[in-house]
Structure 1
Amino acid sequence: MFPLSPMPKKLEENQNTGAFEDLRKQYKDTFAVLEGSDPLATALSFAALLLNENLQSSTYRIETLVNLALALGRDKNRLKQKDFRRLYGDMEKGIVARQEDPAEDVFVSNISTMRGNFLVLEGLSEGAGYFLQVFMQMVDSLPKNESYDVIRDPVYALLTLSDEACKRAGLSRNQLGNEIPKAKLTPQDAERITELRKCLTFSSADLDDLGIKLDDLGEFGFDPSARTKLLKQSLLHNDLERWPVCHKDGKTFLLLPTAISGGIRRFVFEMVVKAYGLDTFLKALAHEYSKRLNLIPFLGEFGRVQLEFTPAGDTLMASVFRWVDDGRVLHILFFMDNLRGFEKTGFGGWDKNQPTTSAAILDHIKLAKAKAEGSDDFKSGISLVVSCGVGRGIMHDVSVLELEDWDVDFLSVHDFEVLSNKNSFAPISLWRLKDAERQVSEAGIELININGLLNLIAWREQLGGTWYHTIRFQIPSGTEVPV
């Protein structure tokens, strides 16, 4: 999830490859090979690679190949290991490989629920495990009756399938994967395809042993007759991500094991909004965030804070105001993504260009600044704006937030929790960070930090508490340097 800051247009445009069909021009040979292959067998073989921890940072290209194989296949030809290696490597030549970044999350998350723990692959979505955990709090809070079993039972069925697939593959909770994308598929990784395919294949007896009802999995069942529709969809919002389970000849296949979190979040959103409306869903989600945030020490020093989200603009907000040092004020503002348009674009869309939300954020900050300036001891303040939502990108125009003696910074709620649980970080460190940013700016360097505040803090710590003196090369004044 991106911070709430204006992003250079070139960077924003590069975040989405568009529809799968748009890749045909760059990958003509790949399309031709996949069109002559068995759609299910080929897609399942590529899906097996998603269970390989060595390939975590290459998830983007693997998911692309899964979708393309399923959408394009027209024959019964079975590809060989050399074919998978070539198709994997061919992705290096175009835009797909440029979308790959070093992994920032664990490879396998552990989801704690009322029915036990479940292993889930993180996949492409940043904070996928975190947001799924929040959603499971909501699911577990639903009344225990048949009216809500239509939500609860399918969710647990898919979680159980994911957990079993991960365990079959020998994966464990919080396991790390390879942080670096791999340009080529090694013979060793290709040899594991057959073994890992079995981890994603379930017989009727397997489902019985796991206590899974086929009807419950039906809520996540992919319709093979509509597979060509995938070509008009994008990697970050498509039918396979929502319905990652496929059935054929009495067997069940988990065709996109990295889609568990996204599939469940979309399903719960759809069911609750359909029955009770978007406003009710938003209030329920805000309530879960309140419960969760009330249990953590804010930035390690505030102790537990009772948060209550209230209406503000076209969303819900909650705030905390604290004096953290002599004359310094920290204002923490939490706001909910109002989820407008999410049903159409899912995790491939953005919460952006919503002036009412931006205005409400600015009003909150101005009120906090006015309150601080009422004290004779006031020197400076910082507003930390924390976005809470379902895991889609959030980007608002905050260019107007330039206030004297007052800085504003942004981060996602899962990054806020990480920072709050970090023993070595204290609120006063935010002022040191701002001082360092100003010194870098005065040196004629503009830092474009699309990875957020937590990235800057980690980077500064890694460099021994400073930035500017570690730069040993000359940079022309005004140069943009991505972080």
Structure 2
Amino acid sequence: MLKIPESLFESQQMLAGNSERNAQALASIFRHYDAKSTIAAAGGLLTVPYLQANAVRLEAISHLIVSNAVGKKKATKQDASRWFRQVGQSVAFMEDAAEDVFVGRVHYQGRNFLVLEGLAEANCHHLQHILNVLETIPDGLPYSTLKSACRSLLLISDHVCHRAGLDAFEAGSEYKVESISLDRLPTLKNLAKRVSFTEAEITQLGGDLSSLGMFFLPPSARKVGIGLHGGSALERCPLIRSC
């Protein structure tokens, strides 16, 4: 019999730890897929409004693909639908109703940027406070690199939202779904394009590649687990080079 701790925090840790163990069994699902295209497709799934309340599941899928995909198989929408069900069996208990809009907006260095809100309430509100503080910091080194990196990440975020046809304060789905509707889902190739950028495209947007270096996940750090605790290597370094 599974004994549930009295502390809510300890209960969450225990349940999340159980999911980490399940991740070892789930690893084989993703092993045969091509890393480059499948990682991008998983990222694109996070731009689909009606899947907002399933963000925990989608982030788990992203982590599992980054950790395990080493093959050559190209994924399809049918594959994504199967992953959604399989991973959901292990992490659905951690999914919660969305508490805010799907797309928020923040202001930094004289312009607005679109940002996906995720599950928690008022994420952009708290991000805006951090950006306000960042703007008060002196421009010299080492702070200028941090400022430039944050602006570059915001430029990428904004362009991802525009590629996905998303507007500020657009609502997603408040409640989670148990399966993906293939009719409502773009092809994985199109989803991957939303979150894929060449170095030239980032530069053209006004991004600074040199300052973004700290946000690229090193190849040696690809074992990112299932990502349920927050603060994973993938969350700290959300950019991945394709080669």
Aligned to 1:55: 51
Identity level (%): 30
SS of corresponding position for 1:75:
coil
Aligned to 2:149: 154
Matched, 1:170 2:165: yes
Matched, 1:196 2:195: no
Matched, 1:143 2:142: no
1:126 CA drift (Å) = 3.9
Q: RMSD of the alignment, in Å? A: 2.1
Alignment of 1:399-414 (within 5 A): none
Q: Which protein has the larger Cα radius of gyration, Structure 1 or Structure 2? A: 1
Contact 1:118 1:160 in 2 (8 A): yes
Q: Which moved more, 1:156-165 or 1:107-116?
A: 107-116
Distance 2:28 2:68 in 1: 9
1:327-378 deviations in whole A, cap 9, x for unaligned?
Answer: xxxxxxxxxxxxxxxxxxxxxxxxxxxxxxxxxxxxxxxxxxxxxxxxxxxx
Distance 1:173 1:156 in 2: 18
Aligned to 1:121: 116
TM-score normalised by the chain length of structure 1: 0.46
Contact 1:45 1:193 in 2 (8 A): yes
1:21 CA drift (Å) = 3.8
Matched, 1:236 2:233: no
Would you tell me which structure has more strand in proportion to its own residues? 1
Distance 2:109 2:176 in 1: 36
Aligned to 2:208: 213
SS of corresponding position for 1:231:
coil
Matched, 1:102 2:97: yes
Matched, 1:187 2:182: yes
Read off the aligned partner of 1:22 and give its amino acid letter: R
Aligned to 1:37: 33
Number of aligned residue pairs: give it.
Answer: 237
1:206-254 deviations in whole A, cap 9, x for unaligned?
Answer: 12211112112112111122212x12864412001001011224xxxxx
User: Alpha carbons of 1:199 and 1:19: their partners in 2 closer, same or farther (altered >3 Å)?
Assistant: farther
Matched, 1:22 2:18: no
Alignment of 1:310-325 (within 5 A): none
Distance 1:172 1:19 in 2: 37
User: Alpha carbons of 1:218 and 1:75: their partners in 2 closer, same or farther (altered >3 Å)?
Assistant: same
Alignment of 1:327-338 (within 5 A): none
1:422-448 deviations in whole A, cap 9, x for unaligned?
Answer: xxxxxxxxxxxxxxxxxxxxxxxxxxx
Matched, 1:9 2:3: no
Would you tell me which structure has more helix in proportion to its own residues? 2
SS of corresponding position for 1:33:
helix
Read off the aligned partner of 2:74 and give its amino acid letter: R
Distance 1:46 1:146 in 2: 36
1:124 CA drift (Å) = 3.8
Matched, 1:245 2:242: no
TM-score normalised by the chain length of structure 2: 0.89
Structure 1 gaps of 5+ residues are 1-7, 250-483
Please identify runs of 4+ aligned residues in structure 1 that moved more than 6 A.
none
SS of corresponding position for 2:240:
strand
1:136-155 deviations in whole A, cap 9, x for unaligned?
Answer: 00111112334420221111
The match for 1:75 among 59, 65, 71 is 71
Structure 2 gaps of 5+ residues are none
User: Alpha carbons of 1:14 and 1:125: their partners in 2 closer, same or farther (altered >3 Å)?
Assistant: farther
1:9 CA drift (Å) = 2.6
Contact 2:114 2:157 in 1 (8 A): yes
Contact 2:76 2:187 in 1 (8 A): no
SS of corresponding position for 1:37:
coil
Contact 1:40 1:70 in 2 (8 A): no
Contact 1:61 1:88 in 2 (8 A): yes
User: Alpha carbons of 1:124 and 1:14: their partners in 2 closer, same or farther (altered >3 Å)?
Assistant: farther
The match for 2:60 among 59, 64, 75 is 64
Contact 2:99 2:119 in 1 (8 A): no
Structure having greater relative contact order (Cα 8 Å, sep ≥ 6): 2
